């Protein structure tokens, strides 16, 4: 196994080979919405030293260096199928899936679709629940407002991040959002 960026099953990923020979199933890490495999670079280095297993940090579809499908709705079922296809192409019989946020939903769906392929499942910062915009406590509408406001920014007219934050503050009411 080579380390570094690789493309398989249409998905790109960074592969870190095991630090020592091992029969342990590989770890496949799936990022959250608007994330990328590089979000886990420091984790991967630590995991590779702590456990002798291959670590695949995957860019899900429409993220990072993976293909971007315009006009095709993203669905957990199709993203899980992409991950399972990646396992097939890499000739991985089993894997441990670790997903953060949206990646957690993808990992759960893959485990439901192919339980015999998933030796372990780690789900971070997400629950196996629906997050419809009409549910009490949902922040989906606020997230949508933020995404639209960010897309509407005229970056050439905003020389600093402070200027961009001030512009976003006109639309986004939560002051916490501008600090992150």
104 lies in the same domain as 67: yes
CATH number of the domain that 10 lies in?
3.40.50.1820
Domain hosting residue 159, numbered range: 140-178
- 64 within some domain: yes
- 60 within some domain: yes
Task: Please give the model's pTM, rounded to 2 decimal places.
Answer: 0.71
Q: What confidence tier does 136 reach under pLDDT thresholds 50, 70, 90?
A: low
- 156 within some domain: yes
The token pair at 176 is 């916490």
The answer to which of 87-96, 97-106, 134-143, 150-159 has the lowest mean pLDDT is: 134-143
Q: Mean pLDDT across the stretch 109-120?
A: 96
98 lies in the same domain as 172: no
110 lies in the same domain as 144: no
Report whether pLDDT(34) > 70: yes
152 lies in the same domain as 103: no
Q: What total number of domains does the chain contain?
A: 2
Spatial distance between the Cα atoms of 167 and 26, rounded to a whole number of angstroms: 44
pLDDT given at position 120: 95
Q: What confidence tier does 9 reach under pLDDT thresholds 50, 70, 90?
A: very low
50 lies in the same domain as 98: yes
- 134 within some domain: no
pLDDT given at position 139: 67
């Amino acid at each position: 196994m080579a380390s570094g960026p690789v493309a398989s099953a249409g998905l790109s990923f960074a592969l870190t080979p095991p630090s020592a020979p091992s029969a342990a199933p590989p770890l496949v890490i799936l990022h959250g919405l608007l994330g990328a495999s590089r979000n886990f670079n420091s984790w991967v280095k630590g995991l590779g030293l702590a456990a002798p297993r291959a670590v695949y940090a995957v860019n899900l579809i429409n993220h990072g260096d993976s293909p971007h499908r315009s006009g095709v709705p993203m669905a957990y079922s199709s993203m899980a199928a992409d991950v399972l296809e990646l396992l097939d192409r890499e000739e991985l019989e089993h894997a441990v899936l670790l997903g953060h946020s949206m990646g957690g939903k993808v990992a759960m769906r893959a485990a439901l679709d192919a339980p015999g392929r998933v030796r372990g499942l780690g789900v971070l910062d997400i629950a196996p629940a629906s997050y419809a915009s009409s549910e009490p406590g949902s922040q989906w509408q606020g997230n949508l407002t933020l995404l639209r406001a960010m897309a509407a920014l005229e970056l050439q007219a905003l020389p600093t991040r402070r200027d961009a934050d001030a512009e976003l503050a006109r639309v986004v009411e939560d002051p916490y959002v501008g600090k992150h």
